Structure 1
Amino acid sequence: MSDNSGVERPGGRSRRGVLKAAVAGAGAVAAVGAGASAAHADTRRRGAPVFVLVHGSGSNSYGWSPVLRELGLRGHRAIAVDLPGHGPGAYFPLGYQAPQDLERLATEPSPIGAVTLADFTAHVVEAVRAAHRNGPVVLVGQSLGGVTLNAVANQVPELISHLVYASAFCPTRHRSVLELMTTPEAASSALFRIPGFKTPPELGVNRVNWRSADPVFYAEVKDALAADWSDAQVRALLNILEPDESAAIGAADARGLPDRWGRVPRTYLRFGEDRAVPPALQDLMIREADETTPRNRFHVRSLAAPHVGPQDPAVWADELERVARTCA
C-alpha cells in the first residue's frame, strides 16, 4: 500500500494509514466507573501544585473526570482542558448521527481539519499561564496529548514544574507521531488492526466511526484500548469519544527541544499492558528522550494498565501525588 505520493512505507503500511492508526482511538483516558462529571477540582492552597490535564485523540476533558474528582477529594487543584475542536467545540458530522449515513460520513468536512498543533499549543499555554498564577504547574498528557506537552514545554518551560506522559507520545529523535509509528517498536500496535474509515485526504481529518455496528471493529477497538474492561465499560467509553481528529497533529514536528523542553523535569507513566502504544514503543521514546537530555532523564513508573490507563482513579491520583511531592 502507498500514500498519495506513491511512497511505500515500512510493513506495507501507507503514510496515511499509519497516521490514522497513530491517532485513531489513541486518546481515551479511563472515564468509566467513577460516576463523576466534574471539569474542575479546586482548593485554595497557594503554592501547592496545579495539575493541568491534556486529553488525547478523539477525547475531551470529560475523559479526565474520574481523575479530577479523586484529586479534588484529596485536596488538590486540577483542571482538564478541551483542546480546540474538542469537547463543547467538537463537530459531529451529520452522517455520524443515527441513523448513520456512511456514504455522507465518508466525505463530510469537519472544521477540525484546519486545526494545527500550534492551535493546540496556544490553547494549553494560556491554561498553563492561568494555572501558574496559583502555584507550580504539573502538565499531564495522555497518548496523543504528549505532542502538545512537548510543544508547550518548548514555548514556556519556565512555567512548568513537571511534565507527566501517560503512555503518551514524546518525539525527540523522531520528529513526529507518524515517524514513531513507522518504527519496528510500533509494528505490533493493535491500532493497525482496527478497520479504518476512509475519508479523502483533502478533508484533513482522521475519522473513526465509534458507533459502528461491525463486531470486528468493536473487537479490535476493545483489544487496542481496554482489553480487560467489560463490554459495558467499553461501550460507555466509545460513547464519549469524538469521531474526528486533525490529521495535522500526528504529522507535525513535535520534537522536544533540549534547551527548552529538556529543562523541565519529567515522568513517564509506562503502561505495561498497552496494545495501542506498545511497551517497546514507550521504551524507545523514553530512551531517545534520555539520550537527548542525559542530565535530565525520565522518572519512569510502570503500571499494569491498558492504553486507557488504570480503571481506578486512585491509582492515577497516587502517581500524580508522587510527582507533586517533587514540586513542593
Structure 2
Amino acid sequence: MSTFVLIHGANSSSWDWHLVAPELRALGHEVIAPDLPTGSPTATLTDYTDAVVKGIEDHDPKVPDDLVVVAHSLGGFTAPLVCHRVPARLLVLVNGMIPRPGETVADWWSNTGQSEATAGTDYDEHETFFHDVTPELEAKALAQVTGQGEAAMLQPWPAESWPEVPTKHLVGRDDRLFPAVWARGLARQRLGITTDEMDGGHYLALSRPAELALRLDAYTH
C-alpha cells in the first residue's frame, strides 16, 4: 500500500482527481488530494508547495514514508518542490511540466519548444483539453475553474536541482497541449528518463481514470 499525493494543474482544483481517488483506494492505497491556491493572484509556487505539505501533514502528522507524489500538467512545477521537503518514494508526472532551476512558468513554453511543437494549431479549449472527455464531465470541469494567479507564473523555479527521487513520466498519446513526441524528447533531455504512454489526451484523470489508477498502482510494485 502507498499514500498517493495527487497534485492538480493550473486554473483548477483537486476535483480533477475525484474519479481517480476512489479507484486508488479500491486498490488498497490512501489518497491525499489537496487544493492549491491557484486562484490567488499573489500565491507563488512556494505557496503551492506549502499547501501540499500541509495537506500531507493534516492527513498524518508523522508524514508517511510511502508517499507517491503525482502531478498533472502545471503540477509538475510543484511536485518536485514537495519531494525536496517530504520523504517521497516516487514522483510521477502525468502530462506534467518539467522545470529547470530558475525557470519561470511563463518562460517554460518557449524554452522547451512547446510553442513550436504546437505551432499551426488553433487553440480551442474543448479540442485542446477535453476532446476525449464526456460532455457532462467537461461541463463539470469548467465549473471548477478557479482562475490562474500570475505570481506563480512569474516566480523562478526555486529548487537548485531535481529531487533525488525516482521519477516516472506518463503521457497521453493524444495530448494536444503537450504532444507525445515532443514530451518524450523533453523527458529525455531534462531528466534522462524514458516516457510511458497510454491512450488519452491531456485530462487522463477525467477521460480514463480507472486505467490511470492501474498505471499508478503498477509503479508501486
Contact kept? 1:145, 1:168, Cα under 8 Å:
yes
Is structure 2 residue 168 aligned with structure 1 residue 267?
A: yes
CA RMSD of the aligned region, Å?
Answer: 2.6
Closer, same or farther: CA 287–159 of 1 in aligned 2, 3 Å: same
Q: Which residue of 1 aligns with 2:68?
A: 138
Does residue 81 of structure 2 align to residue 151 of structure 1? Answer: yes
- For the residue of structure 1 that corresponds to 2:10, the secondary structure is coil
Matched ranges for 1:126-275 at <5 A: 126-129=54-57, 131=60, 133-153=63-83, 155-156=84-85, 159-172=87-100, 175-183=103-111, 184-189=113-118, 193-194=122-123, 220-242=124-146, 244-254=147-157, 257-258=160-161, 261-275=162-176
User: How big is each residue's C-alpha offset from its partner over 1:210-264, in whole Å with a ceiling of 9 and x where there is no partner?
Assistant: xxxxxxxxxx11110022334344223212222x111122232227543xx3411
Larger Rg: 1
TM-score (norm 2): 0.86
Change (3 A) 1:227 1:174: farther
- Distance in 1, Cα, partners of 2:175 & 2:133: 13
**Where in structure 1 are there 5+ consecutive unaligned residues?**
1-47, 87-111, 195-219, 291-296
- Paired residues, number: 217
| Secondary structure of 1:58's aligned partner | coil
CA–CA distance in 2 between the matches of 1:281 and 1:250? 22
The Cα shift of 1:85 comes to 5.0
Supply the AA of the counterpart residue of 1:298. Answer: I
Matches within 5 A, 1:31-180: 48-85=1-38, 112-129=40-57, 131=60, 133-153=63-83, 155-156=84-85, 159-172=87-100, 175-180=103-108
CA contact (8 A) 2:188 2:194 kept: no
Structure 1 CA distance for aligned equivalents of residues 102 and 38 of structure 2? 26
Q: 1:240 to 1:171 in 2, by over 3 A?
A: same
Q: Which has the higher contact order (CA 8 A, sep 6+)?
A: 2
1: distance between equivalents of 2:95 and 2:5?
16
Taking a change above 3 Å as real, the CA distance of residues 189 and 241 of structure 1, as seen in their structure-2 partners, is farther
CA distance in 1 between partners of 2:160 and 2:194 (Å) = 18
Moved >4 Å (runs of 4+):
129-132
